[in-house]
Amino acid sequence: MELFILTIMQEKICFSWYLFYFSLFLLIFFELSHVFFVLYMQMESFFLK
């Protein structure tokens, strides 16, 4: 019984780490896309002048 609980705990920990890294990846991805979008808009306005 204790072993069963332990394996569940380990799976939960692994799952939480997976979620943590996934959210971190999404955050970085959105930040980078936002930065690139702003740079693109600035470049476009610069070239249109």
Quickly list DSSP for 9-38: HHHHHHHHHHHHHHHHHHHHHHHHHHHHHH
Tens digit of pLDDT per residue, the chain (49 long)?
678 877 877 777 777 888 899 999 999 999 999 999 999 999 888 887 6
Residue with tokens 């600035």: 42
Predicted pLDDT of residue 46: 83
Predicted pLDDT of residue 49: 67
Domain extent, residue 12, equals 1-49
The total domain count for the chain is 1
Predicted pLDDT of residue 21: 92
